[in-house]
Amino acid sequence: MELGLWGDLMLIAPITANTLSKLASGACDNFLLATFLSAKCPVMLAPAMDLDMYSNSATQDNLDVLKKRGITVLDSPSGELASGLCGKGRMEEPEEIANAIEDFFTSNKPLTGRKALVTAGPTYENIDPVRFIGNYSSGKMGFAIAEALSNQGAQVTLVSGPSALQNTNPDIKLIKVTSALEMMEACENAFPTVNITVMAAAVSDYRPRVTADSKIKREKKGAFSIDLIPNPDIIKTLGSAKTDSQYLLGFALETNNAEENAKKKIISKNLDAIVLNSLKEKGAGFGVDTNKISIIDSDNKITRFELKSKADVASDIVDFIITRTSK
């Protein structure tokens, strides 16, 4: 019974004429039938039997009853049967069954057919060949959002600064970058064709005016300073190019006047919403596996969430995006 509650899809392949009739009548005299009766998930059947059994009106009536109850019945193609006869009743080819399962999972997701761009991690701005300006971002939040968007059917491009995380999802296209300028270029290339953009990267606002070709030697005495120039504001650049059909979500990590500052960023960067995480919250922010967020809409409505794992926070963010982008 637990299996019926646990599964995302129940497939019976092959299913005989006898088992079909039991499913149609609601019989429960074996393990398979008990699992079927308790299943909360969709059910798919691949009938296989001799041609006369298949064409018999009792079998056809049973198939009709089951289809009317929302059960998917795969085709039983014509061909050579176990009895040696030739006709309709063979089990569908395994490749076709696998395709039907894939179609089922991809066509039932709310973000199927949508493209998403996600940024993650820190950026490193090189000072010389061995030193850089960076920050403590691990990339965990951005990677979790990319995963959650992909789980809901979106085709995801993930642009990540240096991060120890690996992408194991073949449906996510990972573009690795180092500096803010590289991140900017990757985002500008991807942005025109995406529907949803989530900017979770902690981008360095400044970079050294000059990157030294060789290691800078220690000065004998006195202070040392690095001349910094501003990096482009990537999200602001995308915000100004945004069309009505594109949804742009930013992140704000604030230490003071968090909500006020986050609201200002929605306007100044032309965002649809902003995820606010305050460094003052225990268990939120860089490096840790948990986060506590609020999401502020462009109409200043605030949705607050509990402290959760970053994977669960990512699901909340993606659910929020789905409600705001589905018409």
Report the site for ligand CTP in 106-135 (rule: CB under 6 A): 119
Give the three-state DSSP class for 139: coil
Residues in a beta bridge with 15: 47
Residue 218 CB: number of other CB atoms within 10 A? 7
> Is 53 or 186 the residue whose CB approaches ligand CTP more closely?
186
| 197 near ligand CTP, rule: CB under 6 A | no
The one segment of 24-32, 77-85, 201-209, 211-219 that binds ligand CTP by CB under 6 A? 201-209
Cα 114–chain centre separation? 11
- Neighbour-count burial for 78-88, b at 16+ CB within 10 Å, e otherwise: eeebeeeeebb
Compute the least distance from the CB of residue 201 to ligand CTP, in Å: 5
| 247 near ligand CTP, rule: CB under 6 A | no
**Contact pick of 76, 250, 292, 295 for ligand CTP (by CB under 6 A):** 250
Q: Is 135 a catalytic residue?
A: yes
| 180 near ligand CTP, rule: CB under 6 A | yes
> Is 132 or 251 the residue whose CB approaches ligand CTP more closely?
251
The alpha carbon torsion through 36, 9, 62, 53 (nearest 10 deg) reads -100
Compute the least distance from the CB of residue 289 to ligand CTP, in Å: 20
DSSP string of 228-271, one letter each residue: EEEPP-HHHHHHHH--TT-EEEEEEEESSSHHHHHHHHHHHTT-
Compute the least distance from the CB of residue 9 to ligand CTP, in Å: 37
Pair 20, 58: CB distance under 8 Å: no
Q: Quickly list H helices, 121-215.
A: 140-151, 180-190
Q: Which residues have CB under 8 Å from 112's CB, separation 6+?
A: 106, 153, 154
> Is 10 or 271 the residue whose CB approaches ligand CTP more closely?
271
Q: How far apart are CA 56 and CA 54, in angstroms?
A: 6
* # of chain residues touching ligand CTP (CB under 6 A): 15
**Contact pick of 12, 17, 49, 234 for ligand CTP (by CB under 6 A):** 234
Name the catalytic one among 18, 30, 99, 135.
135
Phi, psi (deg, nearest 5) at residue 197: -130, 130
Q: How far apart are CA 218 and CA 202, in angstroms?
A: 30
Q: How far apart are CA 268 and CA 225, in angstroms?
A: 31
The one segment of 12-20, 39-47, 212-220, 233-241 that binds ligand CTP by CB under 6 A? 233-241
- Within a 13 Å sphere around the CA of 124, how many CA atoms are in the beta-carbon half? 15
Compute the least distance from the CB of residue 67 to ligand CTP, in Å: 48
Mask 203-222, x = binds ligand CTP (CB under 6 A)? x-x-----------------
The one segment of 58-66, 168-176, 227-235, 305-313 that binds ligand CTP by CB under 6 A? 227-235
Mask 251-290, x = binds ligand CTP (CB under 6 A)? xxx-----------x-------------------------
> Is 47 or 250 the residue whose CB approaches ligand CTP more closely?
250
- Within a 13 Å sphere around the CA of 273, how many CA atoms are in the beta-carbon half? 22
**Contact pick of 231, 246, 278, 291 for ligand CTP (by CB under 6 A):** 231
Q: Which are the catalytic amino acids? A: 135
Binding site for ligand CTP (CB under 6 A): 119, 180, 199, 201, 203, 205, 231, 233-235, 250-253, 265
